[in-house]
Chain A
Amino acid sequence: MRRSRRRGDDAQAVLETALVIPILLFLVCNFVAVMVQVTVQEQLNSATALAAQSRFQAPENAVDPSGTRCCGAPGASLATAGLPTGCRYAAETFYGTMTTYTGLLHWQSAVLCTSGGDSGNAGRPPSPPVAYVGSPSNAEVSCDIGSVKSDGVVVPGYTDRALNPPAGLEVVTCSASASLDFANTPLAWGVFWTPTLHAQAEALPPPFRQ
């Protein structure tokens, strides 16, 4: 009688341990995964912000000559001939900054260089940005440049920069999206979610631009 009770206690202890340890490891795995997500998001924000600013480091109206290529995913460089040089600068900056954790990211392909875009208002429907002719569509970052309205109309009281660029300046908006995949890491044991990261940054030209 006493022996069977002790055996029951032992079994209970083993069962408790078998239940608690996986739960504990699950919690630690997910905590580490959240930390990784925060870090990658910060790096994505940084790369996008630098890309947007870098667009203005190129001389105004400079266009890439034929045969120009740049950066891009390994084995798939981007052809930028005929595009504004600032677009290539933005891409070079983005790829040069986003160098770590790339093995965990699945990028959403985007058109490297677009123009226009209008978020609309009460009297005008929104219009999406238009891709530059010849702009590669397999880039991991997309920059919408030259969003000054062609007619230069200022909509009073409207604060949207795409509609009313401050003092008529160009506004550059760069964005990038990727999903973070832990499948090929030890964290895959306890992490069952795949977050999608998105970053967007806006930049205005410096007053002393070439």
Chain B
Amino acid sequence: MGGEFEGVVRPRRVPRTRGGQAIVEFAVVLPLFLFCLIGALDAGLWAVQTSAEVSAVEQAAMIASSAGSSPTSQAAPDALAVTAAISGRLRTALFGTTVASWCTKDASGGCAPDTGQRCPSTPAEVQNADGPRVVVVCVSEADPPACTTPPPGRPTPYPPGCQDSPVITVRVVGFVASFVPPGFGAGAGAFELPTNISATTHTLRFAP
């Protein structure tokens, strides 16, 4: 018995329906698996980027609060100088994202002093101005109101807070690169997530 075929193992035929079932299972599981994998990767990436932004903004606030042109200056510290001080740290973490300084461009394309001292309030504002996957560093200064003669019965100094030192706000705002595909997440476009981190501090100001 057996003859010439003895010892040969024939592969068992897989039913066609079972092969189809495997493909369907694979098609269902693959997107879920990719969703979880990319979600976890993106969460880690986002945490690293945000962490770098928080520490950079803190450092920038300290620099900005002591880097005015003079102790009695009424102008905000130079945004370019502050950006240059922290951009190295930001670029290390924000791969795929452009780091820029928020300032008014002059005729030669350079940064003119920002007389308005207004930072973008939303990441979308940065996207409209500078394109996708760009974060800007913005430095603004809020000066206290001028002191005036108080009305009768009101204590000096008047108005309250008129002798305060200016408040410096450093903001890193825009969209950072991520794995979020088009149509998902909070990004305005594809492969980006919004960020808006700020730090505020009072400046050290000497009496004039």
What is the 8 Å Cβ interface bit string for chain B, positions 152-167, against chain A (1 contact, 0 not)? 0001110011011101
Stretch from A96-104, A129-137, A157-165, A174-182 contacting the other chain: A96-104
Bound CA span A99–B33, Å: 35
Q: Does chain B have a CB within 8 A of A93?
A: yes
A17 with B197, Cβ < 8 A, contacts A35-B44, A42-B55, A50-B58 known: no
Q: Does chain A have a CB within 8 A of B61?
A: yes
Give the shortest distance, in Å, between A73 (CB) and chain B (any CB): 16
Bound CA span A59–B32, Å: 59
Bound CA span A49–B200, Å: 11
Q: Does chain A have a CB within 8 A of B198?
A: yes
Q: Does chain B have a CB within 8 A of A138?
A: no
What is the 8 Å Cβ interface bit string for chain B, positions 48-83, against chain A (1 contact, 0 not)? 001100110110011001000000000000000000
Give the shortest distance, in Å, between B165 (CB) and chain A (any CB): 6
- Tell me whether A53 and B201 are in contact (CB under 8 A): yes
Q: Which residues of B contact A100 (CB under 8 A)?
A: 196-198
Q: Does chain B have a CB within 8 A of A120?
A: no
Q: Does chain B have a CB within 8 A of A25?
A: yes
Q: Which residues of B contact A202 (CB under 8 A)?
A: none
Q: Does chain A have a CB within 8 A of B169?
A: yes
- Tell me whether B21 and A10 are in contact (CB under 8 A): yes
Bound CA span A47–B55, Å: 10
Q: Which residues of A contact B164 (CB under 8 A)?
A: 58, 85, 89
Q: Which of A32, A50, A57 sits near B204, CB closer than 8 Å?
A: A57
What is the 8 Å Cβ interface bit string for chain A, positions 41-75, against chain B (1 contact, 0 not)? 01100110110011011110010111110000000
Q: Which residues of A contact B163 (CB under 8 A)?
A: 62
Q: Which residues of A contact B28 (CB under 8 A)?
A: 17
Give the shortest distance, in Å, between A33 (CB) and chain B (any CB): 9
Q: Does chain B have a CB within 8 A of A193?
A: no
What is the 8 Å Cβ interface bit string for chain B, positions 17-60, against chain A (1 contact, 0 not)? 11001000100110011001001100110110011001101100
Give the shortest distance, in Å, between A35 (CB) and chain B (any CB): 4
- Please list the residues of chain A having a beta carbon within 8 angstroms of any beta carbon in chain B: 6, 10, 13, 17, 21, 24-25, 27-28, 31-32, 35-36, 38-39, 42-43, 46-47, 49-50, 53-54, 56-59, 62, 64-68, 85, 89, 92-93, 95-97, 99-100, 206, 208-210
Apart from A57-B65, A93-B201, list 5 A-B contacts with CB within 8 A: A53-B201, A62-B163, A67-B160, A89-B165, A97-B200
- Please list the residues of chain B having a beta carbon within 8 angstroms of any beta carbon in chain A: 17-18, 21, 25, 28-29, 32-33, 36, 39-40, 43-44, 46-47, 50-51, 54-55, 57-58, 61-62, 65, 155-157, 160-161, 163-165, 167, 169, 196-207
Q: List 28 A-B contacts (CB under 8 A).
A: A10-B21, A17-B28, A27-B36, A28-B36, A28-B39, A28-B40, A32-B43, A35-B43, A36-B47, A38-B51, A42-B50, A42-B55, A43-B54, A46-B55, A49-B58, A50-B200, A50-B201, A54-B201, A57-B65, A92-B167, A92-B202, A93-B200, A93-B201, A95-B200, A97-B61, A97-B201, A206-B204, A208-B204
